[in-house]
Amino acid sequence: MEDWLTQLPDDVLGIILSLLDVKEAVRTSTLSRRWEYVWTLFSGCLDFDYSDVACELGFLRPGPGTVDVARQNFLNRVNRVMEWHQGPAIDGLRISFDLDVESSRCDIDRWVKFAMDKRVKKFCLDLTCSHGYIRRKRYTFPKHSLSLSNFNSLTSLSMKNVDVTGEVIESFLCKCPLLEELSVVESTCIGNLQISGPSLKLRHLEIIPRQVSANIEISASKLVSFKYGGAPISMTLKYVPALKVARFGTKYSLFLVRNFEQLSVILLQLDTLALDFWPLTYPMTLPRFPTTTNLKQLELKLNVIDRDTLFSCASLIRSFPLLHRFALQLCWHGKPIERGQRILKANKHPHLCLKVVEFVGFVGYLLDIEFARYLLKNAVTLERLSIDPRLPCRLDFMTTQEKNVVRERARELESELSPGAEFVIL
pLDDT digits (tens, 9 = 90+) for 86-98: 888 888 999 988 8
Mind listing the pLDDT tens digit for each residue in 219-267? 999 999 999 988 888 888 889 999 999 999 888 888 888 877 777 778 8
Strand 193-195 with 297-304, pairing = unpaired
Mind listing the pLDDT tens digit for each residue in 147-169? 656 788 999 999 999 999 998 99
For residue 33, the model assigns a pLDDT of 58
pLDDT at 56 over 60: no
Q: What is the mean pLDDT of residues 53-58?
A: 56
Burial profile 20-54: b = 16 or more Cβ within 10 angstroms, e = fewer: eebeebbebeeeeeebeebbbbbbbbbebebeebb
For residue 219, the model assigns a pLDDT of 93
pLDDT at 328 over 80: yes
Q: What is the mean pLDDT of residues 126-132?
A: 74
Q: What is the mean pLDDT of residues 379-389?
A: 89
For residue 343, the model assigns a pLDDT of 46
> Under 8 Å CB-to-CB from 294, ≥6 apart: which residues?
267, 268, 269, 270, 271, 322
Please report which confidence band the pLDDT of residue 333 belongs to, taking 50, 70 and 90 as the band edges: low
pLDDT at 1 over 50: no
Q: What is the mean pLDDT of residues 353-367?
A: 87
Mind listing the pLDDT tens digit for each residue in 386-417? 988 877 665 556 677 777 888 888 888 888 88
Find the radius of gyration of the CA atoms of the chain: 25
Global pTM value: 0.83
Residue pair 202/195 in contact by the 8 Å Cβ criterion: yes
Q: What is the mean pLDDT of residues 277-304?
A: 80
